[in-house]
Chains A and B, each alone.
Chain A
Amino acid sequence: MTSKRYCGIARPRQNWVTTIAQGATVLVTLSFCCLSPAMAETHGYVISWFATATYNLNPQESCPNNRNGGRTEEYTRELRAIGYSEQQASAIMATQGGVLDPKYQRRYYMRGRVNGKPVSIYNYPESVPDPNIQTVTGKYAYGFDLGGNPSSKFEDPDTHEKIDNQLWRAVGCSHSFDTVPPAQPYFEDLTWALMVDTAPGWSMQISGDDLSKDGKVTVTLDLLTQHLKRDAAGNVLAGATYVIDPRLRSHSVLEGQINNGILTITKPGNIYLEGEMPFYSEIALRDTHMRVSIKPSGTLAGYWGGYLDWSRFVYMYTARADINGEDVVGLYWALKKMADSDPDPNSGQNRYISATWRMEALPAYLANSDGKIVAVPVNVPDNVNAAAAAAANK
Chain B
Amino acid sequence: MKKLWTRRRVLRGMLQGGAVSVGLPILDCLLNTNGTAFAATGSGLPVRFATWFWALGLGEAEWRPKTAGADYELPVQLAPLKPFQKKMNLFSGGQVFLDGQSNNTHFTGVQGQMTGKVSSTEGYFGSFDTVIADVIDNGTRFHSIEATCSGDPKATWSARAGSGLQPAEVSPLALYTRIFGPEFRDPNAAVFTPDPQVMIRKSVLSVVEDERQSLMKKLGASDRAKLDNYFTALRALEQKLAIQLQKPEPLPACTKPLQPEADKQQTVMMCVDAMQRHDVMVGLLAHALACGQTRVVNMALTVGMSGLRREGDPTNHHTYTHEEPIDAALGYQVKCAWFTQRYMEALHNFAAILDGIHEGDQTLLDHMLVYCFTDHGAPRLHSVRNYPVITLGGAGGKMKTGLHIPKPGDAVTRVGLTAQQIMGVPVSSWGTKSNQVSSPIYEVMV
With both chains docked as a complex, state the minimum distance between the C-beta of B323 and any C-beta of chain A, in angstroms: 13
Which B295-340 residues have a C-beta within 8 angstroms of A?
A: 312-314
Which A222-237 residues have a C-beta within 8 angstroms of B?
A: none
Interface flags, A363-394, vs B, CB<8A=1, else 0: 00000000000000000000010011011001
Q: Which of A384, A390, A391, A394 has the largest count of B CB atoms less than 10 A from its CB? A: A391
Chain B at the A interface: SS class: loop
How many contacting A-B pairs (Cβ < 8 A)?
10
How many residues on B have C-beta within 8 angstroms of the other chain's C-beta atoms? 3
* A394 CB contacts on chain B under 8 angstroms: 312-313
User: In this complex, what residue of A is CB-closest to B314?
Assistant: A388
With both chains docked as a complex, state the minimum distance between the C-beta of A389 and any C-beta of chain B, in angstroms: 10
* A390 CB contacts on chain B under 8 angstroms: 312
With both chains docked as a complex, state the minimum distance between the C-beta of A288 and any C-beta of chain B, in angstroms: 39
User: In this complex, what residue of A is CB-closest to B310?
Assistant: A391
Q: How far is the CA of A23 from the CA of B47 in the complex (A)?
A: 66
* B314 CB contacts on chain A under 8 angstroms: 384, 387-388, 391
User: In this complex, what residue of A is CB-closest to B315?
Assistant: A391
* A388 CB contacts on chain B under 8 angstroms: 314
With both chains docked as a complex, state the minimum distance between the C-beta of A393 and any C-beta of chain B, in angstroms: 10
Q: How far is the CA of A388 from the CA of B314 in the complex (A)?
A: 6
Q: How far is the CA of A384 from the CA of B314 in the complex (A)?
A: 9
With both chains docked as a complex, state the minimum distance between the C-beta of A384 and any C-beta of chain B, in angstroms: 8
Interface flags, A100-130, vs B, CB<8A=1, else 0: 0000000000000000000000000000000
With both chains docked as a complex, state the minimum distance between the C-beta of A170 and any C-beta of chain B, in angstroms: 41
Which B110-142 residues have a C-beta within 8 angstroms of A?
A: none
With both chains docked as a complex, state the minimum distance between the C-beta of A328 and any C-beta of chain B, in angstroms: 37
* B312 CB contacts on chain A under 8 angstroms: 387, 390-391, 394
Q: How far is the CA of A384 from the CA of B315 in the complex (A)?
A: 12
Q: How far is the CA of A390 from the CA of B312 in the complex (A)?
A: 8
With both chains docked as a complex, state the minimum distance between the C-beta of A31 and any C-beta of chain B, in angstroms: 33
With both chains docked as a complex, state the minimum distance between the C-beta of B184 and any C-beta of chain A, in angstroms: 35
With both chains docked as a complex, state the minimum distance between the C-beta of B47 and any C-beta of chain A, in angstroms: 46
With both chains docked as a complex, state the minimum distance between the C-beta of B270 and any C-beta of chain A, in angstroms: 13
Q: How far is the CA of A388 from the CA of B312 in the complex (A)?
A: 7
With both chains docked as a complex, state the minimum distance between the C-beta of A246 and any C-beta of chain B, in angstroms: 40
Which A30-89 residues have a C-beta within 8 angstroms of B?
A: none
Interface flags, A160-187, vs B, CB<8A=1, else 0: 0000000000000000000000000000
Interface flags, B180-220, vs A, CB<8A=1, else 0: 00000000000000000000000000000000000000000
With both chains docked as a complex, state the minimum distance between the C-beta of B376 and any C-beta of chain A, in angstroms: 25
Q: How far is the CA of A217 from the CA of B314 in the complex (A)?
A: 39
Q: How far is the CA of A382 from the CA of B313 in the complex (A)?
A: 15
With both chains docked as a complex, state the minimum distance between the C-beta of A381 and any C-beta of chain B, in angstroms: 16
Q: How far is the CA of A391 from the CA of B313 in the complex (A)?
A: 5
* A384 CB contacts on chain B under 8 angstroms: 314
Q: How far is the CA of A394 from the CA of B313 in the complex (A)?
A: 10
Q: How far is the CA of A128 from the CA of B185 in the complex (A)?
A: 64
With both chains docked as a complex, state the minimum distance between the C-beta of A394 and any C-beta of chain B, in angstroms: 7
Q: How far is the CA of A227 from the CA of B312 in the complex (A)?
A: 30
User: In this complex, what residue of B is CB-closest to A390?
Assistant: B312
Q: How far is the CA of A136 from the CA of B312 in the complex (A)?
A: 41
User: In this complex, what residue of B is CB-closest to A384?
Assistant: B314
* B313 CB contacts on chain A under 8 angstroms: 391, 394
Which B262-319 residues have a C-beta within 8 angstroms of A?
A: 312-314
With both chains docked as a complex, state the minimum distance between the C-beta of B271 and any C-beta of chain A, in angstroms: 14
User: In this complex, what residue of A is CB-closest to B311?
Assistant: A391
Q: How far is the CA of A391 from the CA of B312 in the complex (A)?
A: 6
Q: How far is the CA of A60 from the CA of B312 in the complex (A)?
A: 37
Q: How far is the CA of A391 from the CA of B335 in the complex (A)?
A: 13
Q: How far is the CA of A262 from the CA of B314 in the complex (A)?
A: 33
User: In this complex, what residue of B is CB-closest to A394?
Assistant: B312
User: In this complex, what residue of B is CB-closest to A392?
Assistant: B313
| Additional 7 contacts, C-beta under 8 A, given A391-B312, A391-B313, A394-B312 | A384-B314, A387-B312, A387-B314, A388-B314, A390-B312, A391-B314, A394-B313
**5 sampled A-B residue pairs with Cβ under 8 A:** A384-B314, A388-B314, A391-B312, A391-B313, A394-B313
In order of increasing CB-CB distance, the 8 nearest A-B pairs are: A391-B313, A391-B312, A388-B314, A390-B312, A387-B312, A391-B314, A387-B314, A394-B312
